[in-house]
């Protein structure tokens, strides 16, 4: 079956009311079985429906039928649908992705490693790639020999392995920033030790409180996103980073520094925590997904020698080694200088988007609403007035043509907040940023008016 036929059949079902707004579509596998076609055909069909704004994707959940517009409508592919400005999806800017360059690197990797594809590779990662990674990390002020670098199948794998790994300090409890990204929340959900949260707010982190946790709670490691935090967009100051490392050294606590967006930091004076740590307490984790292609699924961890044996055993049990071809392609991409050119372009793109976003926040959000973020990076949050809840606001805004995320699931239960929206500007066109935030501001005002009217009626 051609993907166009799947598109037309699903559109007809939506028109007939068989699939209503908010309904979940079959998974890729289920749809491939139902339509008797390949998964790639379904993926292409869903991508076309998403392009027409007839469906939308929710990470780690699936595809859903989009809401129809109650007012101004556009005609796309024969169907009248509303133009949705999507601040929820947080993948890299597709228009800026280096598809052709990386395809060339993949072809080169096939030639370079054609014989190696018939055998298993090194569990730690290709030695030649680790050499290139060590050179690249110097640009981020992470000075380490290739022998301490471990290639992983995405930074999430590194976190998954480290959480269950026995550390030399013999402890089991973990401290994490609050809020923290969904991937970490999921990893912690079934963890056997205690998990303690510490709020990460505009003024930074309460280091006195952090010290008390390190001193009193038998902490194995502290997990922190030191730059462009997800979801707040905050970055620790150099002074705060140094003090955190000092506390870790004093109380025999390890630090996992997740620097997933460090490449986007154009300020050479912003050092990672790893640069402050001569003792080997800081474990540095980095991803290439958010600045390149998420499907690449490659990351790295810089580990102290005492974790080497246990980590390699856990890695071998997980997947033996990360895919050879993608390792080889990344090696070529770094070696050729293409990555440096790409990152320079990405820094400009995301800084421009972030400036537009912050300016729009200041211009259009109503009193009583606050926001987080910086002038670079992917993520920000909007903190709603106390009387509003994020889920209701997200539903209301979707009817106004704007999709946003909610941050409730990014908190440990005892820290949970119901009034925080999460936004990403990464895939929103520059021209749509201000109109989108204007619509959000108008939607919040509308909800506040409705609540005021309800209270007035109740009193009368």
List strand residue ranges (DSSP E) for 202-249, in order: 204-205, 219-224
More reliable by pLDDT, 248 or 103: 248
pLDDT at position 54 is 86
**Element holding 344 (H helix, E strand):** helix 338-364
Domain 343-458 has CATH 3.30.2130.30: no
Q: Which listed CATH number (1.20.120.420, 3.10.129.10, 3.40.640.10, 3.30.300.30) goes with 99-339? A: 3.40.640.10
Q: For 242-260, what is the mean pLDDT?
A: 97
Read off the pLDDT of residues 90-125 as tens digits, 9 standing for 90 and up: 877 777 888 889 999 999 999 999 888 878 888 999
pTM of the model: 0.81
Q: 332 CB contacts (<8 Å, ≥6 apart)?
A: 105, 108, 109, 112
pLDDT at residue 60 above 70?
A: no
pLDDT at 92: 79
Of 121 and 188, more confident: 188
Residue 380 vs residue 294, higher pLDDT: 380
> Are 291 and 343 in contact, with CB atoms under 8 Å apart?
yes
Instruction: State mean pLDDT over 157-168.
Output: 97
pLDDT at 127 over 80: yes
* Least confident span in 41-45, 57-61, 307-311, 356-360: 57-61
Residue 198 has pLDDT above 60, yes or no: yes
Residues in the chain: 460
pLDDT at residue 71 tops 90:
no
Task: Please determine, for residue 242, whether its predicted confidence score (pLDDT) is greater than 70.
Answer: yes
Domain 2-65 architecture: Orthogonal Bundle (1.10)
Average pLDDT in the 184-206 region?
92
User: How many other C-beta atoms are found inside a 10 Å radius of the C-beta of residue 36?
Assistant: 8
13-52 residue pLDDT tens: 988 888 988 889 999 889 989 998 888 788 888 988 887 7
Exposed e or buried b per residue across 65-90, where buried means at least 16 C-beta atoms within 10 angstroms of its C-beta: bbbebeeeeeeeeebebbebbbbbbb
| Cα–Cα dist 228/226, whole Å | 7
What percentage of the chain reaches a pLDDT higher than 90? 67
Angle in degrees, CA 138, 374, 178, rounded to 5 = 90
pLDDT score at 78:
37
The structural domains of the chain, with segments of one domain joined by +, span 2-65, 99-339, 343-458
List Cα–Cα distances, 219 to 170, 240, 272, in angstroms: 9, 19, 22
Mean pLDDT of the chain: 90
């Amino acid at each position: 079956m051609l993907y166009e036929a799947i598109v037309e059949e699903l559109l007809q079902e939506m028109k007939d009311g068989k699939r209503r707004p908010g309904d979940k579509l079959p998974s890729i596998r289920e749809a491939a079985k139902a339509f008797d076609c390949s998964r790639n055909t379904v993926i292409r069909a869903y991508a076309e429906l998403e392009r027409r704004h007839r469906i939308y994707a929710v990470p780690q959940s699936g595809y859903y039928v989009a809401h129809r517009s109650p007012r101004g409508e556009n005609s796309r592919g024969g169907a009248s649908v509303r133009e949705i400005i999507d601040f929820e999806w947080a993948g890299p800017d597709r228009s800026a992705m280096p598809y052709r360059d990386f395809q060339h690197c993949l072809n080169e990797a096939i030639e370079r490693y054609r014989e190696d594809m018939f055998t298993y590779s090194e569990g730690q990662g290709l030695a030649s790639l680790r050499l290139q990674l060590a050179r690249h990390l110097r640009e981020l002020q992470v000075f380490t020999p290739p022998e301490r670098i471990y290639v992983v199948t995405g930074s999430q794998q590194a976190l998954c392995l480290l959480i269950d790994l026995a550390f030399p300090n013999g402890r089991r409890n973990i401290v994490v920033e609050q809020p923290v990204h969904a991937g970490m929340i999921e990893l912690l959900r079934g963890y056997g030790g205690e998990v303690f949260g510490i709020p990460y707010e505009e003024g930074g982190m309460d280091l006195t409180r952090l010290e008390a946790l390190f001193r009193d709670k038998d902490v194995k490691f502290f997990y922190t996103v030191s730059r462009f935090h997800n979801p707040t967009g905050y970055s620790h100051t150099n002074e705060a980073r140094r003090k955190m490392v000092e506390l870790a050294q004093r109380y025999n606590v390890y630090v996992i520094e997740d620097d997933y967006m460090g490449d986007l930091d154009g300020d050479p004076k912003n050092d990672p925590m790893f640069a402050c740590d001569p003792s080997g307490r800081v474990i540095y984790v980095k991803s290439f997904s958010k600045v390149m292609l998420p499907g690449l699924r490659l990351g790295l961890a810089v580990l102290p020698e005492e974790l080497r044996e246990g980590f390699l055993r856990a890695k071998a049990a997980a997947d033996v080694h990360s895919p050879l071809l993608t390792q080889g392609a990344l090696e070529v991409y770094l070696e050729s200088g293409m990555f440096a050119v790409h990152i320079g372009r990405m820094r400009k793109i995301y800084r421009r988007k972030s400036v537009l976003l912050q300016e729009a926040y200041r211009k259009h959000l109503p009193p009583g609403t606050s926001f987080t973020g910086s002038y670079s990076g992917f993520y920000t949050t909007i903190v709603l007035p106390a009387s509003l809840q994020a889920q209701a606001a997200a539903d209301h805004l979707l009817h106004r043509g704007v999709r946003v995320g909610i941050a409730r699931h990014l908190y440990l239960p005892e820290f949970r907040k119901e009034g925080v929206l999460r936004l990403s500007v990464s895939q929103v066109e520059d021209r749509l940023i201000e109109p989108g935030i204007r619509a959000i501001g108008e939607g919040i005002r509308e909800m506040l008016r409705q609540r005021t009217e309800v209270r007035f009626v109740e009193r009368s």
